[in-house]
């Protein structure tokens, strides 16, 4: 992808994008590559939303928020390994992010077993700390859920997927009869 990223495997899919484990061939490190779905790339609204996500997260620097390292777009006809992009002529936007070794909170709770209270407190504390930082920087995530919370191999929480985040100054946080996120 973009003559720089070697796609290794799919690690997540969503309505708007697919996330791949990839290798940054210039820096020789494993990264997460979030690529807008080709059908969404045809739509200016989705491209603008994707760009806002990259800009918003790139402005944050917190150990509990997945870091954005780079953004760009590529011609899928010049790339290999991204099957869903094959045959499209529109440039496909991507966000290159920190790769997180670990698992999601969704994975942690999927079998219905209770999470030990001390571990649960650590997870919630990490999430609240990251949200406090994000809100202090005028960015509201709006999609906090177990699938968007990663736990690293050493137990640190990382918030992912700021796809529907909004600048706090741009959106009133409360409106009668409206669910924001």
Write out the catalytic residue numbers: 143
Instruction: List phi, psi (to 5°) of 71.
Output: -140, 165
Neighbours of 62 (CB within 10 A): 17
One-character DSSP codes across 47-98? HHHHHHHHHHHHT---TTBPPEEEEEEE-GGG--S-GGGTT--S-EEEEEEE
């Amino acid at each position: 992808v973009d003559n720089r990223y070697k796609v290794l495997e799919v690690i997540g899919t969503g309505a708007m994008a697919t996330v791949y484990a990839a290798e940054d061939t210039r820096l020789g490190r494993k990264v997460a590559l979030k690529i807008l779905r080709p059908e969404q790339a045809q739509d200016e609204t989705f491209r603008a939303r994707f760009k806002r996500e990259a800009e918003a997260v790139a402005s944050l620097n917190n150990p509990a928020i997945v870091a954005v390292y780079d953004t760009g777009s590529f011609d899928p006809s010049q790339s290999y390994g991204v099957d869903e992009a094959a045959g499209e002529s529109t440039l496909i936007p991507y966000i290159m992010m920190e790769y997180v070794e670990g698992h999601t909170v969704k994975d942690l709770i999927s079998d219905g077993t209770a999470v030990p209270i001390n571990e649960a407190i650590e997870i919630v504390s990490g999430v609240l700390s990251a949200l406090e930082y994000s809100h202090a920087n005028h960015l509201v995530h709006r999609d906090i859920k177990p699938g968007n919370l990663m736990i690293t191999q050493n137990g640190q929480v990382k918030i992912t997927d700021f796809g529907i985040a909004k600048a706090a100054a741009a959106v009133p946080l409360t409106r009668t009869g409206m669910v924001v996120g």
